[in-house]
Structure 1
């Protein structure tokens, strides 16, 4: 794999891991007026914009449309966009509380996949085409005679020189980009489930048993001794009665200990509080680790460009780089600002819905993700109506701190891309907004 392709893949996979929070929250805000009929004027609704950073670009959302702008290696800005139909208009049931939030989650994920797919296909398109048109190969007699996929050379000394090759059809490139994006999203979903649902639950379960804060719920676990005791070792040697406990294979003793700590503990409020803290710790470690990667730093820079552009629009300033660069890169409506809401909702919900089976608790938590999204949506919906309230400031404060990591100061070219995306999205609104169309260098 070429270095640029490897960087593209890594940035795409990491963007897939990170995009959902930011895009979901902006979608929540954007859909406040779409999910139900409220006393909000059309002008106020049109002012609500948001977006997310993608590979070498930005996707911008307006109430009824979206646009993705990407800067190609040759410096050209390319874009795509479309109007977004309201799911609540097609399916009236999606206007109901909680359901509308879950629908926003699904729509946001689908749109995020589309944006990442497009950006990944365009970000390194120019470099890939150049690599396809001229590759360096060591000349052999077969190459010189024109065999294989290389053009024939009639003279010269064998060496390392560029030779034109057959171009890959564009439809094959698109299929490859689609497959790559789909693979990244599948990987991200599996990764998130394992890291943020399965691992915290198992670790918290083991911690409660090891600390003696709770006993296993099954009768066999309640009567069993600790894994270091002779009875646990004896259980591990039931298939080898002639062996002394101290002669038991290490892997049998390890398996006996693992089984002991995997006996389910009925989740309580304290259990879910520690589970949530472990989940948040994993997230912070992941974000900080990704911020050290050069490729991901550029994604964070585009994230900052997106926030600065949104601030410029919300303040009624002309959409120009000179105005955008003066705006702060931390935005209170960023998806990271509402992680605390999701964590608190999950703690309460997981404390209510619980079982005496570790596997059943895992499956239940995965199944409750849309419900948590729906409930969090309703809380966000109520708090967003009063952005100056104390509750809103408390909710957004942790996210503003976290944005010191997830956003970086963008350069002027990155701001140009973000502004370009917002202008294109505004053009696609049913009643296109008047924007200052200054030329982009």
Structure 2
């Protein structure tokens, strides 16, 4: 049985590892080529303004996405740099960093680049279906039809993209670590011992997953777009861009709601569409991958415990 007042933790799959985040720190564990597990720890820098914004419904979702992009980029970069490199050659990483001084990444910073990448991706993902739906105006004439076909196209692009990338061995392994991350969180929340056997007994799906959030932006966006006109095209494009923060904010609240009612028999189905999408974005992990995920989570618990003392 899940404890109501238990601390809430989130995670993210990275290259050959898993990152977990708590209140004060984020911690990653990755599997190196020599089979050893290596850790990377980052304190969470608390910004008072951000903390206040995170308490405001419909605004906190945008803040959460920005912070997740910033924190996740650091750990993803850490794991990517060490992917396929023998630990004995870690000095090469430091040398490469020195060579890259003065590049765009140095000036803007990886954190800012991560946020910009998210924004650009979101804009493209939002506008392409709009333009394609507009070309079908002779067939789907009404605003209602246009919004529906736009949403169907957006959902189709999302599913096709995820499916295609999941076919590559590299992304498949990342999705397996994603499954390992969910299993550890489920084990923790259900008071299951954090052993390989205990964690493997848990579901690889989780109501609070970012994959569910992405799907909800499509569903929520459709209902919000019903409230604005689809013509002329320039106004439709402007509306879609201006409504991106609104869609994100509302979708985040929907995601939180589905997590709260997941144990209510009648209401748990609200989160099912997000869980169905996770059948694509997660894969069953191996015991070795679960071991890495457990190690990452245990290190986070240890770091945050020591931080309190």
TM-score band by shorter chain is 0.7 to 0.9
Please give the per-residue CA displacement for 1:304-333, whole angstroms capped at 9, x wherever unaligned.
Answer: 111111122112223222221222222233
Q: Could you tell me which residue of structure 2 aligns to residue 249 of structure 1?
A: none
Instruction: Give 3-state SS (helix, strand or coil) of 1:308's partner.
Output: helix
**Would the aligned equivalents of 1:82 and 1:428 in 2 still touch at CA under 8 Å?**
no
Give distance in 2, aligned partners of 1:47 and 1:91.
17
The counterpart of 1:95, out of the listed 28, 48, 55, is: 55
Higher RCO by CA contacts (8 Å cutoff, separation 6 or greater): 2
Distance (whole Å) between structure 1 residues aligned to residue 90 and residue 8 of structure 2: 41
Q: Is residue 110 of structure 1 aligned with residue 39 of structure 2?
A: no
Distance 1:360 1:45, change over 3 A: farther
2:22 aligned partner: 62
CA RMSD of aligned residues (A): 3.3
* SS of the residue 2:136 aligns to: helix
Q: Is the 8 A contact 1:341 1:395 kept in 2?
A: no
Q: Using the alignment, how far apart are the partners of 1:188 and 1:91 within structure 2?
A: 21
Q: Which residue of 1 aligns with 2:275?
A: 400
Indicate which of 133, 157, 174 corresponds to 1:299: 174
In 2, Cα distance between equivalents of 1:375 and 1:185:
19
Structure 1 residues without counterparts, runs of 5 or longer: 1-42, 133-166, 215-266, 434-441
Aligned residues: 302
How far has the Cα of 1:357 moved from its partner? Answer: 3.7
CA shift for structure 1 position 181 = 6.1
Q: 1:197 aligns with which of 126, 144, 153?
A: 126
Deviation at 1:192, TM superposition (A): 4.3
- The structure with the larger Rg is 1
SS at match of 2:38: strand
Q: Do residues 172 (structure 1) and 98 (structure 2) align?
A: yes
Judged with a 3 Å threshold, the aligned counterparts in structure 2 of structure 1 residues 88 and 95 are, in CA distance, closer, same or farther, namely farther
> What is the TM-score with the length of structure 2 in the denominator?
0.83
Any idea what SS the aligned residue of 1:95 has?
coil
- The separation in 2 between residues aligned to 1:313 and 1:406, in whole angstroms, is 21
How far apart are the structure 2 equivalents of 1:420 and 1:203? 46
Tell me the secondary structure at the aligned position of residue 42 of structure 2.
Answer: strand
User: Structure 2: 5+ residue runs without aligned partners?
Assistant: none
Q: CA deviation at 1:48?
A: 2.1
Q: How is 1:15-94 mapped onto 2 (pairs within 5 angstroms)?
A: 44-87=4-47, 92-94=52-54
Q: How far 1:51 sits from its partner (Å)? A: 0.7
* Corresponding residue number in structure 1 for 2:136: 207
| Conserved? CA contact 1:56–1:70, under 8 Å | yes
Distance in 2 of aligned mates of 1:81 and 1:172: 22
Q: Secondary structure at the match of 1:352?
A: coil
Per the alignment, in what secondary structure is the counterpart of residue 342 of structure 1? helix
Cα distance in 2 for partners of 1:392, 1:275 equals 28
